[in-house]
Structure 1
Amino acid sequence: MKSKILALLGGALLSGTAMAGGYQVNLASQRQIGMGHTGTGIQTGTSSIFFNPGAMSYLRENGVTLGASAINSKIAFRALEATTSTAEADNDFGTPFQVYAVYGINEKLKVGLGVYTPFGSGVRWGDEWRGRYNLNEIDLKAVFFQPTISYQITDKIGVGAGLVIATGAVNLQRVLPLQNQDGTEGGIELDGGANTAFGFNAGIYFQPTEKFSLGLSYRSKVDLEVEDGDVNFSNIPDIAKPLFPDGTTFSAELPMPSTISLGIGYRPSERLTLAADVSRVGWSAYEKLRFDFSQAVGRPAPEGLVSESDRNYEDAMIYRIGGEYMATDALAVRAGAYYDQTPVQDGYLTPETPDADSRGLSVGLGYTISNFVIDASFLYINKKERTDTAELSGSTAGTFKSVAYIPGLGVTYKF
């Protein structure tokens, strides 16, 4: 019994939905974050494993990169019918990370391994806000391992592909509309680890001249399945305990969407690199939120074994621009911006994904010391204020507003 549970399991990767559309997190490289997270159409170093495996074959040196970002996001909610009814998500600092290693077999053939965190969530609304019966806390983690190979067919064309091996875990908590004699409300917690799932990442890189370059990459959809996850109940009144049996488990499926990206790079001088990317994310794969429980929950058996609601996400576009200027031989200065469309339709806004079109602005620095490169980045994300008047699919009618502040640091060793 498997199910698609994105709205209840979904959220944005490590802190609400302030990272990217839906529950995707685009924080795969500190250098590229500084350039608006562009990278499909240029040579990005070891992070080509993620952005475009075809460009990895152009690396002149072996390298190992370690990096992470510290996410601090704020999500505010205001109820429609009562302007004094407000809430703010208490979100932890999320730390999406990236590890890349590339080794050259010869001048044309390169192999590498990437480990990164493209999806997840960490939202804490508390147990007193008006939407607590939909969600009061979620913690979602997903980790991708990607062994990769890349080959330079000619001086102008490189191709590459990598196998994605994905795993993850989820913990979700919400309040139940039940009260003990002391007035304490009941609660439910879902906790489970995902089975190993597989996908792929492939790309082609084309550099017709020293100044121009093009790239096309595709990251496939990956379905993470949770089987026999634990369902724990708390503060259930004695009279209702037969409806919430101990030992209940759940199964679910978390689809992580595909992404196809087209990028272009332009170097008007040896010191300046400009880049632009456009991506289409296949969010339409997320149609329904469904839980399969091993026992009836909240209703007499045999009813209540399945909980399902529509989500009906739509495919969405992301537009990015960025640049890097070598101020000195050792110091690089970067800046970028992007616009990310939301996949969430009107009427389907939820506390886990109170999503809206977002604008991102970034800056970054890179400094080379001997064989080491230190990269620092800062990303500011501002999602449009969005009001939902419907109570569809578990949504909470009201106005949501999200912002995020994301510093990051990375170190690369070349040899």
Structure 2
Amino acid sequence: MKTTWLKTALAVAVGALSTQAMAAGFALNEQSISGMGTSFAGRSSSADDATTLFGNPAGMSRLKREEVSFGMAAIHAKTDIKNNSGSFSSPVPSLNAPINGSNDGDMVPFTAVPMGYYVKPIDDKWAVGVGVYVPFGLVTDYESGYQGRYFGDYSEVRVITVQPTVSYRFNEKLSVGFGPTINRIDGELQSASPNAGSLGSNDGRVKVTGNDTALGFNAGVLYEFTPQTRAGVTYHSKVKYKLEGDTKLSGPGFDVTGASGKYDASLNLDTPESVDVSLTHELNDRWTLYGGAMWTRWSRFEAIIIENEGLPSGPLNPIVEEQDWHDTWSYAIGAAYKLNREWTLRTGLAFDQSPTNNLHRSPRIPTGDRTAISLGLAWNPTDDVTVDLAYSYLREEEVDISRSRTYSGGLLEADYDATFKNRAHGFGAALSYRF
């Protein structure tokens, strides 16, 4: 019987759609499908399953049995682009021209966001575990001929984290947890470069790739005021990367100047620290309420500055894209209702500030403040198996992009203006098995 239920649950879990997940900036929320059902309210205090290893490592001490959990998050996103315009301007009259191109807005491809956790209680005080998840990620892939192509038409950033973790329970009320994180980042940025001899066509291409591995840590405290009420605080450290890779220049414009080729490149990038605070209260045998807030230090992300060895100083060395992001807060409330032993329903509402600003917002991350409403379902066919399903609808405020960049020693300026509005349907599925 257990084998039959496990196979059924596994089929449901891996049948989730695979697509790009989004959150504020290039952070991802999707490290827990059970948490997704409540819009991640109570993330640092719920400690319901092995995904607490990320949400609050101190919560591992609440798990009574050895447990493995894995899942996948997905999102189907749509962007409307309007009020768009683009132009070249120059003191040389012959170089004044419009920038033509499309603004389809279909730039979020299908990409999987997986997660997996294992927790083993050692005794009534100690627990150990390991998790693999994706804390940061971004893919924007505009159509060929996108009007804003000179300011970024392909961007991909992916961080994969492995976190070995330990937790300790001092007494019935206080638990702590800690886990170092091993983080692998891979990035690719592409944009077009105008060809002064044939403006708007025969563009050059700039492609930058790089990667690095760096260390960080997660730490948490869980305090249980009563058996029904608990609060948690989780700190996710910043991680400092130096991506090493190359910049490739290609196309007719670079061929004419002799700049075509591949150059060693480097980029310093810090992913921000965050503090998550939440409260979980079991109102009665059926209802559980959640609330939480998270602060993220996005102000560390001031600019993308790519140094290219072998290129003379100029617009491509260094490549500079100002960001000037600011710190953000996100807030969430949620509830769970236990229908019976097998079925639990969840729902949640979240508000997430965007770190971007009107002056430096880029087509690479054209996001604004967002609101999300979520629904979740947990199925427990046996005491050993839980299948979690979740759905979220996300809507972002309308934001403006206004970018300009100079070329040819300041003789040519490219400008692009547009209004973006994003919305998305998110899906998630996960399987937890207790031994």
Q: What secondary structure does 1:218 align onto?
A: strand
Other-structure match for 2:366: 354
- For residues 35-90 of structure 1, the C-alpha deviation after alignment (integer angstroms, 9 at most, x for no partner) is 111221222321111111111111111100010012221222223559x9743133
- For residues 126-163 of structure 1, the C-alpha deviation after alignment (integer angstroms, 9 at most, x for no partner) is 23121001111122211011110000011011100110
Q: Does structure 2 retain, via aligned residues, the 8 Å contact 1:249–1:293?
A: yes
Q: What secondary structure does 1:172 align onto?
A: strand
Structure 1 portions without partners, runs of 5+: 1-13
State how far apart, in whole Å, the 2-side matches of 1:239 and 1:85 are. Answer: 26
State how far apart, in whole Å, the 2-side matches of 1:78 and 1:224 are. Answer: 36
Would you say 1:326 and 2:338 are equivalent positions? yes
Other-structure match for 2:379: 367
1:379 to 388, 392, 412: 392
In the TM superposition, residue 390 of structure 1 has moved relative to its aligned partner by 5.9
State how far apart, in whole Å, the 2-side matches of 1:395 and 1:272 are. Answer: 54
In the TM superposition, residue 334 of structure 1 has moved relative to its aligned partner by 0.7
Other-structure match for 1:10: none
Would you say 1:288 and 2:300 are equivalent positions? no
State how far apart, in whole Å, the 2-side matches of 1:191 and 1:92 are. Answer: 19
Other-structure match for 1:185: 203
Q: Does structure 2 retain, via aligned residues, the 8 Å contact 1:78–1:85?
A: no
Please tell me the residue identity of whatever aligns with 1:338: A
Q: What secondary structure does 2:256 align onto?
A: helix
Q: In 2 relative to 1, CA 135–242 (structure 1 residues): closer, same or farther, beyond 3 Å?
A: same
Q: In 2 relative to 1, CA 239–154 (structure 1 residues): closer, same or farther, beyond 3 Å?
A: closer
Other-structure match for 1:260: 275
Q: Does structure 2 retain, via aligned residues, the 8 Å contact 1:41–1:265?
A: yes
State how far apart, in whole Å, the 2-side matches of 1:120 and 1:238 are. Answer: 31
Other-structure match for 2:426: 406
Which residues of 2 match residues 10-409 of structure 1 at below 5 A? 15=20, 19-38=22-41, 39-80=43-84, 86-178=103-195, 183-192=201-210, 194-227=211-244, 229-237=245-253, 240-244=256-260, 246-296=261-311, 301-303=312-314, 304-370=316-382, 371-389=384-402, 391=404, 396-409=416-429
In the TM superposition, residue 310 of structure 1 has moved relative to its aligned partner by 2.8
Q: What secondary structure does 1:240 align onto?
A: helix
Between the two proteins, the alignment pairs up a number of residues equal to 392
Other-structure match for 2:98: none
Please tell me the residue identity of whatever aligns with 1:383: E
- For residues 269-297 of structure 1, the C-alpha deviation after alignment (integer angstroms, 9 at most, x for no partner) is 0221111010100001111220100121x
Q: Does structure 1 retain, via aligned residues, the 8 Å contact 2:289–2:335?
A: yes
TM-score (normalised: structure 1): 0.89
Q: Which structure has the bigger radius of gyration? A: 2
State how far apart, in whole Å, the 2-side matches of 1:407 and 1:311 are. Answer: 30
Please tell me the residue identity of whatever aligns with 1:149: V
Q: Does structure 2 retain, via aligned residues, the 8 Å contact 1:32–1:44?
A: no
Q: In 2 relative to 1, CA 265–346 (structure 1 residues): closer, same or farther, beyond 3 Å?
A: same
- Please provide the CA RMSD for this pair: 2.3
State how far apart, in whole Å, the 1-side matches of 2:164 and 2:220 are. Answer: 14
State how far apart, in whole Å, the 2-side matches of 1:355 and 1:75 are. Answer: 10
In the TM superposition, residue 114 of structure 1 has moved relative to its aligned partner by 0.8
Structure 2 portions without partners, runs of 5+: 1-18, 87-100, 407-413
Q: Does structure 1 retain, via aligned residues, the 8 Å contact 2:59–2:177?
A: yes
Please tell me the residue identity of whatever aligns with 1:384: E
State how far apart, in whole Å, the 2-side matches of 1:219 and 1:115 are. Answer: 15
Residue identity over aligned pairs, in percent, reads 26
Please tell me the residue identity of whatever aligns with 2:250: S
Q: What secondary structure does 2:60 align onto?
A: helix
TM-score (normalised: structure 2): 0.85
State how far apart, in whole Å, the 2-side matches of 1:54 and 1:238 are. Answer: 55
Q: In 2 relative to 1, CA 99–317 (structure 1 residues): closer, same or farther, beyond 3 Å?
A: same
Q: Does structure 2 retain, via aligned residues, the 8 Å contact 1:278–1:317?
A: yes
Q: In 2 relative to 1, CA 355–395 (structure 1 residues): closer, same or farther, beyond 3 Å?
A: farther
Q: In 2 relative to 1, CA 80–305 (structure 1 residues): closer, same or farther, beyond 3 Å?
A: closer
Q: Does structure 2 retain, via aligned residues, the 8 Å contact 1:217–1:262?
A: yes
State how far apart, in whole Å, the 2-side matches of 1:186 and 1:53 are. Answer: 48
